[in-house]
Amino acid sequence: MKNREKILIIDFGSQYTQLITRRVREAHVYSEIFPHSITLEEVIKIKPSGIILSGGPMSVYDAGSPQIDPEILKLGIPVLGICYGLQIICKDFGGVVEPAKDREYGKTVLRISEDSKIFENVIRNSIVWMSHGDYLSKVPEGFQIVGQSDHSPICAIANEEKNIFGVQFHPEVVHSVEGRKIINNFLYRVCQCKGDWTPKNFIEDNIERVKEKVGDSKVICALSGGVDSTVAAVLVRKAIGENLISIHIDTGLMRKNESEKIGKLFDEKLDLHHIHIDASQRFLKNLKGVVDPEQKRKIIGNTFIEVFEEEAKKHGDAKFLAQGTLYPDVIESMPVKGASVTIKTHHNVGGLPEKMNLQLIEPFRELFKDEVRSVGRELNIPEEFIERHPFPGPGLAVRVIGEVTKEKLDILREADDIFIGEIKSAVLYNQIWQAFAILLPVQSVGVMGDLRTYEYVLALRAVTSVDGMTADWFRFDHNFLENVSNKIINKVRGINRVVYDISSKPPSTIEWE
């Protein structure tokens, strides 16, 4: 962020790296993840207030294990190493890391043995979360041991003079009782952060950034009707006013009556004066016969851009496309982290064509969903927008498993409408992060009246989450599920069986495709 303090998080492939980012931002300090391959020059250019080294699944001595330019640790910037990050510090400053005789996983007790800035006001004996197979057997020169555990005699180290610290446990996870306090100590006592990461400051920064980038050109904004694109449109409009051209494309992959409903809200409550384009036949034609979910996403991404670029030609000076892309979209779509792999391509990230005539404006590319909602509230966007469940860019195309047809979409739309309607009637909507139905490419035998049926199976999915990076399935009352199942089977022709998905993320993703 321009002119704002920033914590640089260097990733070595830990499953908790995004959680470190969240903990720092929750403390009102901006943080951003970079791969371990980041160069010394890049770090100097970023001018971070501090650096956090993440954990990782490998040993620091393994062939091909992720490393860091040791000179980064000598810049005089405060450093906190977590697990693998601690071992990197130890190795690069001349200490010794060895395979542990007893591996340490799960909860253990941290015993603080010496005073340290990162342990100020931290309980001397507290529960922390461990996940490591190596341990420190020799402390680097200039460092002292400030914490121990039963299986890690060197559980935390500190070089108070150089402001370099390391902990073997994971303070970012909720199981580490004093973890947030330790992270906050690093941010405020060590890095001397002021805590200027607020929705108001974010808005001010990005209004300035958009104005500088766009100038007098026009910007086309892709309005899906979801929280992200809606908040993005309002933010960009604040920056450039009437030079924003808001467009909603009806892909034919929307929920029941959605395009019509959100169109009224755009114009009547948000003053966006959007352009409505019905491209449903075009999208369905391009998706005909396609089964692979990655191919679906790429086709939808390409078709979106084709439609937007055609519309842009009608506005000769439109050079930019604004999108509501989020940080989880970026993380899941491409290996931006140390040892990460692509989980799935989001249509607005990896699904975009390599050559585009429009330049992208993505104000939320480094934000999580709840952060976007906070920005939306600061912009006075009505709660009916802010609290909407996430809806995937590819729409129902990734909720019709297998080939997408109008018949299947119509069946799914009706079933999904009943499911969401019942959730709202039961006053459960705001307790759930995301809820939806999935039409499976499976037909089963059923009996309706005296007739045999052979119709589709519908899966229901509802999860709780904070940012979509992890999620747990929602515990509905059995009577609620029974009622929903009966209504769907009785009212939606084409479905004779309903199942409920009780998978968490990980190992499953929230969407099925």
CA–CA distance, 430 with 453 (Å, rounded to integer): 36
For 385, the enclosing helix (H) or strand (E) is: helix 383-386
Write the burial class of residue 221 (CB in 10 Å: 0-12 exposed, 13-18 middle, 19+ buried).
buried
Cα dihedral 367, 368, 374, 377 in deg (nearest 10): 90
Closest by alpha carbon to 176, among 192, 156, 190? Answer: 156
| Paired residues of 111 in beta bridges | 125, 148
Terminal Cα distance for the chain, rounded: 33
Write the burial class of residue 256 (CB in 10 Å: 0-12 exposed, 13-18 middle, 19+ buried).
middle
- Burial string for 425-461 (b: 16+ CB within 10 Å, else e) reads eeebbeebbbbbbbbbeeeeeeeeeeeebebbbbbbb
Catalytic pick among 170, 248, 274, 347: 170
| Paired residues of 437 in beta bridges | 460
**In the 3-class helix/strand/coil scheme, how is 197-251 assigned residue by residue?**
CCHHHHHHHHHHHHHHHHCCCEEEEECCCCHHHHHHHHHHHHHHHHHEEEEEEEC
Residue 276 among the catalytic residues: no
Catalytic pick among 5, 104, 172, 332: 172
Catalytic pick among 5, 83, 332, 346: 83
| Paired residues of 244 in beta bridges | 219
CA–CA distance, 503 with 509 (Å, rounded to integer): 9
| C-beta separation of 8 from 48 below 8 A | yes
| C-beta separation of 474 from 510 below 8 A | no
Closest by alpha carbon to 344, among 387, 390, 393, 304? Answer: 393
Residue 389 among the catalytic residues: no
Cα dihedral 431, 434, 439, 440 in deg (nearest 10): -100
Residue 83 among the catalytic residues: yes
Coil, helix or strand at residue 56: coil
| C-beta separation of 216 from 168 below 8 A | no
Q: Which residue has the tokens 């000598």?
A: 74
Closest by alpha carbon to 147, among 122, 184, 177? Answer: 122
Catalytic positions are: 83, 170, 172
